[in-house]
Amino acid sequence: MASELYVSLSGQKAMETRLATVANNVANMRTGGFRAETVNFDTVLSDYRADRVNFAAVGEMHIDRSAGPIELTGNPLDVAIFGDGWFGVETPSGVAYTRDGRFSISPEGDLRTLTGYGVMDEGGAPIQLEPAGGEVIIGADGTMTQGGRQVGVLGLFTIAADADLTRYGDTAVLTDVQAEPVVDRLANGVRQGYREGSNVNAIQAISELIEVQRAFDHSTTAVADREETLQRAVRTLGAE
């Protein structure tokens, strides 16, 4: 079969992956703390022909770490991070990290995320509160007080820039290196009564979705035309 057909198919496969990635970003434009995902593509050279055919191949997936917009909610258990840092949460797969600070208190007094994962303090231990102990006050440095007494410090952790991140659920990530507690709580802290939104650029994401869909359709048409040309050539040559 002609090499250009394989090249077109490799391009379709790459665009399919990109389409799924962009569609997931668009679907999570309003998901609190969501981090957009991008994918790059590589060119693979083949020596099976003398002129070296170029194929498209999916490269690495990247999670965009840029901050999302901060929105006022007035809910005392909504907490947004300003500066660098992630909340640490306990999951069945180990410690994960998230920027989604929409918390709640379980009947047992555990501070939990909306997905039910326990929130960690600065030492990596679960945060315990009194369900009926009154309003929780959270300072800019993460210090938590309830009923006039300090009950803990909300954990903030930094993830190395070269760490590989893997998405966990909609808003959390797993990292291949251990995150470190934030030291500078003046430049990096929290704001009570606020939530961080998704960092997806809605207009850009929707435009990209349309662009990729059109490119995929054009590629599909090109493959169909090439197959039809081959079939006509076979019929013509076979009749001679």
Mean pLDDT of the 126-153 span: 93
Rounded Cα gap, residues 223 and 220, in angstroms? 5
Pair 122, 94: CB distance under 8 Å: no
To the nearest whole number, what is the mean pLDDT of the chain? 85
Pair 183, 59: CB distance under 8 Å: no
Pair 175, 93: CB distance under 8 Å: no
Confidence of residue 185 (pLDDT cuts 50, 70, 90): confident
Could you list the beta-strand ranges (E) of 21-142: 37-46, 53-63, 70-72, 79-82, 87-91, 94-98, 103-105, 111-113, 118-119, 136-138
Mean pLDDT of the 202-219 span: 82
pLDDT tens-digit map of 143-155: 999 988 999 999 9
The encoded tokens of residue 26 equal 């668009």
Q: In what order do the strands lie in the sheet with 172-175?
A: 103-105, 111-113, 118-119, 87-91, 94-98, 172-175, 165-168
Give backbone dihedrals phi and psi of 47, rounded to 5 degrees, phi first. -100, 15
Residues in the chain: 240
pLDDT at residue 199 tops 80: yes
Give backbone dihedrals phi and psi of 228, rounded to 5 degrees, phi first. -65, -40
Closest CA to 119 of 150, 91, 80: 91
Secondary structure (3-state) at 180: strand
pLDDT tens-digit map of 59-117: 677 899 999 999 999 999 999 999 999 999 999 999 999 999 999 999 999 999 999 99
pLDDT higher at 214 or 112: 112
* Global pTM value: 0.78
Rounded Cα gap, residues 163 and 161, in angstroms? 6
Mean pLDDT of the 28-39 span: 89
Confidence of residue 221 (pLDDT cuts 50, 70, 90): confident
The reported pLDDT for the residue numbered 49 is: 53
The encoded tokens of residue 231 equal 């079939």
The reported pLDDT for the residue numbered 1 is: 47
